[in-house]
Amino acid sequence: MSEAGGAHKLWGGRFAGGPSPLLDAINRSIGVDFRLWPHDVRLSKAWAIALGHAGVLTMDESRELERGLGIVAQQLADGAQPIASDEDVHTMIDRLLHDAVGAVASKLHTGRSRNDQVATATRLWTIEACGRVDAAVRALQQVLVTQAEALETALMPAYTHLQRAQPVSVAHWLLSHFWPLERDRRRLAAAARGASELPLGSGAIAGTAFPVSRLLLKESLGFHAVARNSIDAVSDRDFVAEAIFALAMMGAHLSRIAEDLILFGSSEFGFVRFGDGFSTGSSMMPQKRNPDALELARGSAARLLGDLVAMLGTLKGLPTGYNKDLQDDKRALFDAVDTMLLVVPAVAGTVDELTFETARMESALSSSMMATDLADYLVRKGATFRESHGAVGALVREAEEKRIEMYELPRERFAQAHALFGDDVLDALSARSSVAHREAIGGTGPKAVREQIEAARAALGPAQDTPAHGNELVANVAL
């Protein structure tokens, strides 16, 4: 059973008195790291098995520890909660294990430190979290592709400097948000790969003093590689920073989607209408429909950036080896993952519910947006682009001054602007003609957009490569 009064610590023998309650308050991390328990149990099972194979424990002791850890896992799955003396999740599991199997539980910590233990559990959690976020992002990408397929032939203005620039297909605009998310998924996969390096067996800093097979641990826990340096292994949190960076970058991309749609949903644009499921109303103005999910997504990007800065700020000043500053790595990591697992589905739901006002989008296309096409027309006739640019610029200025569309200018004005303008000049002022000319890979032409949609569909095939979980049969947590 646990020590009298429920007190249970993994340290303290060299201290004459107990810690100050003020230290306990700041030192206690179980409110944050409690969610690591499935991974701590899993790695503890693997450690018990490795100690048995190394001859440090008898096989009966190893199996008894496995059995006890299974009991602990079930208790935690059933809702067991920390008590006041549980400093962190590792202490809590150790306490419950002592309750389950008695004195043999004290042998589990042989050759192991909380330093390599927490590093291992955090890596396992990060690998799993990257997979969960990846699944959410794939679902958002699926919505974008589905909407793009329905809007292949619809046209809209594209913008630079928030000024109308050139016509594009609505599908092309939608997919401009698909590919940044695809890059985010690659970064997530790289972060998961970076996390897949086993620190267990590194001890507190100098490595374990017992002949434990770290290769066996690597395989049983599904890691890709074994950390080569014990000093580095217990203090390395590059994988945390990499995961948070991937999430912060994703947050920026989601913020840009949100900003586009918030603008497009305004009365001034009127390009999209928001559905009921992801909009809210006003407590005062009955007519309001507010895109709150998108605004929260936009705001969340700032907090994700804060998590990244906090993590990098913590790491940049640390000496080598484990330092207690690293206790806060999980606070930043968990917040970033939790935020993204709320934001991504909300953005996906919002996009799925959108109604695109295609007539309004096409009505926003003006002939001045085909100015580049008019210059290209002259180039095809033999003019240089620079002289074409000047001639078309003069026509644009005249149309603006007269407040008319360019196709309303007298035909002779085109001939005066440049001798190569012919009777077919007005064809170059057609938005669909403009789009049809842009069939280069990555362009907005109908064929190019169809190929892009097919490429996006292919990207949503099998999940991207993440570290394989090797032979987990012997170390799997039985819940």
The structural domains of the chain, with segments of one domain joined by +, span 4-110, 115-363, 367-429
Predicted local distance difference test score (pLDDT) of residue 152: 95
Confirm if 34 and 125 have CB atoms less than 8 A apart: no
Across the range 29-56, mean pLDDT stands at: 95
Determine whether 53 is an active site residue. Answer: no
Q: How far apart are CA 424 and CA 277, in angstroms?
A: 49
The count of residues in the chain is: 479
Residue 467 has pLDDT above 80, yes or no: no
Lowest-pLDDT range of 197-201, 426-430, 451-455, 457-461: 426-430
Do 4-110 and 367-429 fold alike per CATH? no
Residue 163 has pLDDT above 60, yes or no: yes
pLDDT tops 80 at residue 108: yes
CATH 3.40.50.10440 is the classification of domain 115-363:
no
Instruction: Give the range among 238-252, 303-317, 407-421 with minimum mean pLDDT.
Output: 407-421
pLDDT band at residue 479 using 50, 70 and 90 as cut-offs: very low
Q: Give the pLDDT confidence of 330-372 residue by residue, as tens digits.
A: 999 999 999 999 999 999 999 999 999 999 999 999 988 888 8
Question: Across all residues in the chain, what is the average pLDDT?
Answer: 90
Instruction: Check residue 474 and give its pLDDT.
Output: 35
| pLDDT higher than threshold 50 for residue 185 | yes
What pLDDT is stored for residue 469 in this prediction? 44
3-state secondary structure of 39: helix
In 91-184, DSSP assigns E strands to 155-160, 163-169
99-104 average pLDDT score: 97
**Residue range 114-138: mean pLDDT, rounded:** 97
CATH 1.10.275.10 matches 4-110 = yes
**Is the pLDDT score of 270 beyond 70?**
yes
- Note if 367 is an active site residue: no
More confident residue, 433 or 28: 433
Question: Dihedrals φ, ψ of 242, to 5°?
Answer: -65, -40
Return d(Cα 155, Cα 366) in angstroms, integer: 12
Residue 3: band (very low, low, confident or very high) from pLDDT cuts 50, 70, 90: very low
Question: Of 3.40.50.1860, 1.10.40.30, 3.30.365.10, 1.10.1740.10, which CATH number belongs to 367-429?
Answer: 1.10.40.30
Q: Residue 165: its pLDDT value, please?
A: 92
Query: How far is C-alpha 24 from the chain's CA centre?
Result: 34
What does the DSSP assignment read for 282-334? -SS-TT--B-HHHHHHHHHHHHHHHHHHHHHHHHHTPPSS--GGGGGHHHHHH
Query: How many beta carbons lie within 10 A of that of residue 264, not counting itself?
Result: 22
* Nearest-angstrom CA–CA distance, 250 and 137: 9
Task: Report residue 379 as tokens.
Answer: 């180039």
- Catalytic member of 109, 161, 433, 437: 161
**pLDDT class for 305, splitting at 50, 70, 90?**
very high
**Higher pLDDT residue, 429 or 116?**
116
pTM reported for the whole predicted model: 0.88
Beta bridge partners, 139, equal: none
Residue 375 phi/psi, 5-degree rounding, is: -65, -40
| Residue predicted with more confidence, 399 or 248 | 248
Q: Within a 10 A sphere around the Cβ of 313, how many other Cβ atoms?
A: 11
Q: Give mean pLDDT, residues 281-287.
A: 72
- State how far the Cα of 387 lies from the Cα of 393, in Å rounded to an integer: 10
Give residue 427's pLDDT band: very low, low, confident or very high (50, 70, 90): confident
Catalytic residue among 106, 266, 282, 363: 282
Distance CA 60, CA 43 (A): 19
